[in-house]
Amino acid sequence: MATREDLENFVSRVTRPEDFGDYWTGVLEGLAEIPLEPQETPAPIRSNADVHVSQVSYHSLGGLEIACWYCVPTGGDGPFPAILHFPGYKGEPGIRRDWGSKGVITLTVAVRGKLRSNSQFDPGYPGLLTHGIEDRDTYSYKGLISDCVRGVDFLLSRPEVDPDRIYACGSSQGGGLTLITTALRPEIKGGVSGYPFLCCYAEAMQMLRSYPYDELNCYARAYPSRVSQMLE
């Protein structure tokens, strides 16, 4: 367990596998081969005079259908700037009419495992953080990151979106997903990441004894032979 002094003096260490770039290039190329097949269902009960709200979906890694809330300003001259909003670890995506009323399109992504995106994948909490962690190709967060990346593809497919003004934001897990997605997709012009989860997780295992990070310690105790793969 870390002390306050440990946390105040903490400096992260980055371990980058030699094939890191090639791996993520392969992931992006694989996603590009999956038909997006976007669908949109208007949600008049969620809309108001300033913002039109729809439930949209698109296909992501493994063919999973990912649900989102899509808020578009009803007034003003488009195309509009757009924000991808990513959810926290346990929180559910909200409907950002507040941003829509300010002339900004918002796509809030219900990554796999969230409500409306959990019919094919639902490891629960705890469970999500270690699901498939023994192999980087089966790990849950490969899927979650892919779901966020595909959100960029959805926005780029929309005529009302200004492709030169796409941004991302989120806090906790959403903050981590913001950093990762913004790094993978140069079409995102900027991001705001609040207290990002998923950073320095190897150190977090040693310093913290609370969930969700302690889920990693529980897994390591149960499967000590898999620790090296888990940290890859």
In tens, the pLDDT along 55-77 reads: 999 999 999 999 999 999 999 88
Span of 10-19, 71-80, 98-107, 161-170 with lowest mean pLDDT: 10-19
Confidence of residue 1 (pLDDT cuts 50, 70, 90): low
- Is residue 71 included in any domain, yes or no? yes
The residue segments making up the domain with residue 127 are 9-198
Residue 117 phi, psi dihedral angles, 5° rounding: -125, 25
How much is the pTM? 0.93
146-196 confidence digits (pLDDT tens): 999 999 999 999 999 999 999 999 999 999 999 999 999 999 999 999 999
Partner residues linked to 94 by β-bridges: none
* Per-residue pLDDT at 227: 84
Q: Which helix (H) or strand (E) holds 188?
A: strand 188-194
- Is residue 125 included in any domain, yes or no? yes
- State which amino acid sits at residue 36: L
Taking the CA atoms of the chain, what radius of gyration do you get in angstroms? Answer: 18
* Per-residue pLDDT at 89: 87
Residue matched to tokens 């969230």: 114
- State which amino acid sits at residue 103: G
- Is residue 72 included in any domain, yes or no? yes
Q: Angle CA(9)–CA(11)–CA(15) in degrees, nearest 5? A: 160
Q: What strand order describes the sheet that includes 80-85? A: 39-42, 51-59, 65-73, 105-110, 80-85, 161-171, 188-194
- Is residue 208 included in any domain, yes or no? no
How many residues are recorded in the chain? 232
- Is residue 213 included in any domain, yes or no? no
- Is residue 223 included in any domain, yes or no? no
Helices and strands (H and E) in the chain: how many: 8, 7
Task: Kindly report the CATH number assigned to the domain that includes residue 145.
Answer: 3.40.50.1820
- Is residue 134 included in any domain, yes or no? yes
Neighbours of 2 (CB within 10 A): 14
- Is residue 228 included in any domain, yes or no? no
What is the average pLDDT score of the chain?
92
Q: Which helix (H) or strand (E) holds 66?
A: strand 65-73
* Number of domains the chain contains: 1
Span of 29-33, 150-154, 198-202 with lowest mean pLDDT: 198-202
Cβ burial 22-53 (10 Å sphere, 16+ → b, else e): eebeebeeebeebebebeeeebeeebeebbbb
Cα within 13 Å of Cα(5), Cβ side: 0
